[in-house]
Structure 1
């Protein structure tokens, strides 16, 4: 059998495998073909049904960062009216091995046919557990760079890397970094720029926040806050955002508090809206 029987023709996002002859009870696996960052294989097995598989080649890249694929796969038959069998679109499916995508075709196929794959998107997982990133999206390198920077910033806080300031909450203390705090808050920047006790003693007292709320506050500043943590501490975060002039956190808390107003908390929410000068609430 010629080498062409295993070769898959490709363009940037399309792969096409031509099968000239497939005997009964036959298995065939294509040569590897490259789409995106990965080498791929197609395979077919003909028994009572025809099974088509698409999977990435086993490698360190696939093990550490398996592709998350969106694609359309078709089988085009050359017999009769050249009928096309189209699998329903696959969206954001992680593919690690040759059993992750199997298409069992009940319709008998004879003669020549083509397996055609159109890759709509390929994504990789975010290193810090965030949303997967498309390798083809505009600005992918910038997004990945930002994701890596945020993950590094989060580790600086969680692993206490070269901290140079102590935050004293009502019931505990946390190490932080002057430069990070000053970059997000003009109030912190002023503290560390003038001869105030915070600069001299390398401490900031936030006595109106618990250690858990203060940790959530710092996690937000360092780009490391989790959604559940944010929801639990919205009110102390709102107070801290107002006190330290962090406008985007203040707005995020305001928008979140608007989402779950009910008869039990409406008065409290109105008081907060008035206190923090949100003119409109519940609209």
Structure 2
């Protein structure tokens, strides 16, 4: 085996093999890069009492931003006639970013020629929106591409008014939409179109408690086409619409988002909405901000005005929290 071929790894689409002729005279060897999936990879060997085998992706912007989540079987196979093999237990969904993420320590001494054989069962990348990681190979990639294309097409149906069959009347404008999409996303809309209500007969839905901009953001969410800035701007209106039309995922998204930036200017409004829409985590977060962190004293005038119009049960809860906090001193 020539010097150049001693570092070469032979590959198919999912299999990599590194043939080692002689490791006796060296304590460390690193393969040439080899490509599997989207990434360049390396295998390395290190002798130090034990033999350490490492598999890792080459450092790059791709590895930093989208490290592979790998499932594989790795073996060391003797090249002698009996072809004895040592097999590591199957690795499943292991995120690999550097040369310490997968290390196999082999206690059995290896002599003569042998092959390091890596069979990749799957390679995934993390979803950019924090969802389930997706395989880069046929099944996962096809599904992800299909989902992205379908979502983009759904968004175009709304923005380009493609075959709309119902009109949404906001307080200051109208938007065309599609019964089937609305019914699929909201049991309230589905009920409207399933019974002989005026929305079914007149092909209109009046949403008079929303102006056109938050109404557009609401429809954009339903169609999977909302921009993050619009979501942040219209969170409270979207929360109201989600509660009214029973869209639980939108309500949950608003709930989580409203928890993230509680401050002195918005805490009382959010506390009121937490009580109105039964959002326990938001209520707890606002209570802690006001009572445990003592911010109730920083907004005394606003808090006194809040007490004049707040729900009695909510006022009782606040004073219960205050009394409990005082007992702790």
Which region of structure 1 is more displaced relative to structure 2, 117-126 or 195-204? 117-126
For 2:205, the equivalent position in structure 1 comes to: 204
CA drift of 1:141 comes to 5.3
CA drift of 1:255 comes to 1.9
CA drift of 1:235 comes to 0.5
CA drift of 1:167 comes to 1.4
- Equivalent positions of 1:112-261 (< 5 A) are 122=123, 133-135=134-136, 142-261=143-262
CA drift of 1:53 comes to 5.4
Encode CA deviations 1:174-196: one digit per residue, 9 max, x unaligned.
Answer: 21101111122222122223333
CA drift of 1:271 comes to 0.4
Closer/same/farther in 2, CA of residues 87 and 133 from structure 1, 3 Å limit: closer
- Equivalent positions of 1:58-97 (< 5 A) are 68-69=38-39, 72-74=41-43, 89-90=57-58, 91=63, 92=66
CA distance in 2, matches of 1:141, 1:51: 32
What is the alpha-carbon root mean square deviation over aligned residues? 4.7
Among candidates 281, 284, 309, match of residue 282 of structure 1: 284
SS in 2 for 1:166: strand
Please report the TM-score for the alignment, with normalisation by the length of structure 1.
Answer: 0.59
For 2:267, the equivalent position in structure 1 comes to: 266
1:133, 1:144 within 8 Å by CA — same for their partners in 2?
no
- Structure number with bigger Rg: 2
CA drift of 1:119 comes to 6.2
CA distance in 2, matches of 1:278, 1:76: 55
| Structure 2 residues not aligned, in runs of 5+ | 22-29, 69-114, 286-329
CA drift of 1:7 comes to 8.7
Encode CA deviations 1:180-237: one digit per residue, 9 max, x unaligned.
Answer: 1112222212222333332232222223223221121112111222333222211110
| Structure 1 residues not aligned, in runs of 5+ | 21-49, 57-66, 95-113
Encode CA deviations 1:113-139: one digit per residue, 9 max, x unaligned.
Answer: x9998869645899xxx9983235986
Greater per-residue helix proportion? 2
Closer/same/farther in 2, CA of residues 119 and 158 from structure 1, 3 Å limit: farther
The structure with higher relative contact order (CA 8 Å, sep 6+) is 1
Which region of structure 1 is more displaced relative to structure 2, 161-170 or 207-216? 207-216
Closer/same/farther in 2, CA of residues 174 and 124 from structure 1, 3 Å limit: farther
SS in 1 for 2:284: coil
Q: How many residues align?
A: 227
SS in 2 for 1:282: helix
